[in-house]
A = this chain, B = another copy of it.
Amino acid sequence: MNKHPETLISRNLEKLLVSYEQHRGTNFIDERRLPEAVIIHRVMEDLLEILFPGSSGKREITSENLPYVIGDMLNQVRCALKDQILLAYKHECKIISCREETCEFNADKAVETLLDSLSDIRTILKTDVKAFYEGDPAASSPEEVVISYPGLKAMAIHRIAHILYQLKVPLIPRIMSEISHSQTGIDIHPGAVIGDGLMIDHGTGVVIGETTVIGRNVKIYQGVTLGALSFPRNACGSLIRDQKRHPTIEDNVTIFAHATILGNITIGENSLVGSNVWLKEDVPKNTMVLSEQPKMTFRSVRKEKTDI
């Protein structure tokens, strides 16, 4: 082991250089730089502060400094996000080549569209905050929801990422949604279409797939999956990627913990899906769906303590 370290390094450098040659697609060499998650993370935090001014507690916001603080942040977001989106488009150009100006144009357009949507996003998020506060007896104030509820954070990030997804910005929307997934345990694909006033309580383990459509005032609890049932493949056996394969959840539906709803089905308005229900069929409106409880056995545990 007491080899000279250089040997160890150079030996493995050689092997890796060969591997980089052989296994393209897992490295990004001579491509224009990729977007950087750390910077996108920072942009996201600025956007959250713009949406909920003062909520980070990082600085005091007053009527006097408000226009300057927010104006400054909007400028910072515009620059940093434009750079990242431009990197994403240019990276894609390596694949489907296009004129440089197109990337510039698209990046400017994406940032402008997002900034132009912020006040509308605020209006929608207000309905989300209301839904959390009115739906959770443990919420002591709407402020507590804004400051500490992971479900609300996931919705704020989703409503931003979804706009960039609609504009077909490469890579960035998914990077944003995975930042949210990592922090909240809630996995919402940026493609999902979600109406006003969604409450996701607790949230860990929730999965909402790409082509899911959710109406207004829907409630979802921890561990709920809105997923795909099967993945149709084309003649060549490769996946068909742009097809509605996830559920549609209509207005005022409540889905309790660990329910699994699979496939392109519809849960009608005002319906309730009970905890642990496993559904792959449509549910009419105004319907409560419960699984018949499996019979339970009760016996003494004396000797079997360590056995399940």
Contact = CB atoms under 8 A, between A and B. Distances in A.
A25 B129 contact: yes
Contact of A28 (B28, B54, B105): B54
B8 A210 contact: no
A97 interface: no
Nearest to A142: B25
- Pick the most buried of A35, A95, A260: most chain B CB atoms within 10 A of its CB: A260
Nearest to A68: B13
B286 A302 contact: yes
A99 interface: no
Nearest to A75: B9
Contact of A240 (B78, B137, B262, B302): B137
27 contacts: A8-B116, A16-B70, A16-B118, A17-B67, A20-B66, A25-B129, A26-B52, A26-B129, A27-B52, A28-B55, A29-B61, A30-B63, A38-B58, A137-B231, A140-B170, A148-B178, A182-B183, A182-B184, A185-B185, A207-B257, A258-B258, A270-B305, A272-B308, A274-B308, A279-B296, A291-B295, A292-B294
A53 B300 CA distance: 43
B13 A70 contact: yes
Interface string A2-39: 11010011111101111110110111111111111111
A34 B54 contact: yes
Given A53-B29, A296-B277, A301-B271, A74 B230 contact: no
- Pick the most buried of A22, A202, A297: most chain B CB atoms within 10 A of its CB: A202
A299 B275 contact: no
A74 B12 contact: yes
Contact of A241 (B23, B137, B142): B137
Q: Copies per complex?
A: 3
Given A185-B185, A301-B270, A33 B57 contact: yes
B297 A289 contact: yes
Q: How large is the interface on A (under 10, 10 to 19, 20 to 34, 35 or more residues)?
A: 35 or more
A293 B181 CA distance: 30
A207 B136 CA distance: 14
Interface string A205-234: 101011000000000001101011111110
A146 interface: yes
A100 interface: no
A90 to B, nearest CB: 11
B223 A205 contact: yes
8 closest A-B pairs by CB = A28-B54, A36-B57, A34-B57, A15-B119, A292-B295, A1-B108, A33-B60, A19-B119
